[in-house]
Structure 1
Amino acid sequence: ALPQIITAIVAALPQIITAIVSGVVGAIPQLIDAGIQLLTALIGALPQIITTIVAALPQIIASIVSAIGGAIPQLVQAGIQLLTA
């Protein structure tokens, strides 16, 4: 049964591709409208986004410093391997 199913799918492929392309082309105005709405919403929320990032900055910096501090032995070992290679 599997070869027959595969043959049927291959035979229907041009119709499937045509339907997909037609659907995407037909949806272009909606996609553009949704993209404009998303961009407008992001621009409108930019002050809140910046405020949130600035508020989280100390935690972000502390996490980065902690991660680098915890990885110092691996960084030193990698540096030694690079120099000796």
Structure 2
Amino acid sequence: MVARGAVRRCAGRYRGGALTFTKTESLRTVERGEEAVSFHLAGRGIQPAWYTVVRQGPVLARFASSTMDPVAARRLLRWWSST
């Protein structure tokens, strides 16, 4: 899958516009749609964010969580993957 490879290639650093993420981590992905990828982004001065992107045909759905509490974010990702 293209998206999973991109997450692996950006593992050390990712620059997106004015933001620079110094941590890009691939996460266990939900088994939904035709393709899915989950990842975590963090950086200095940037609120950590967790994403899951699911593709079914031409439709993309993005689920995002942005919190300073990593335990709550991981709990949310586990909930997404169980539904």
Both structures adopt the same fold (TM-score exceeding 0.5): no
TM range (shorter): under 0.3
Q: TM-score, normalised by structure 1?
A: 0.19
More strand, by proportion:
2
Q: TM-score, normalised by structure 2?
A: 0.20
Bigger Rg, which one: 1
More helix, by proportion:
1
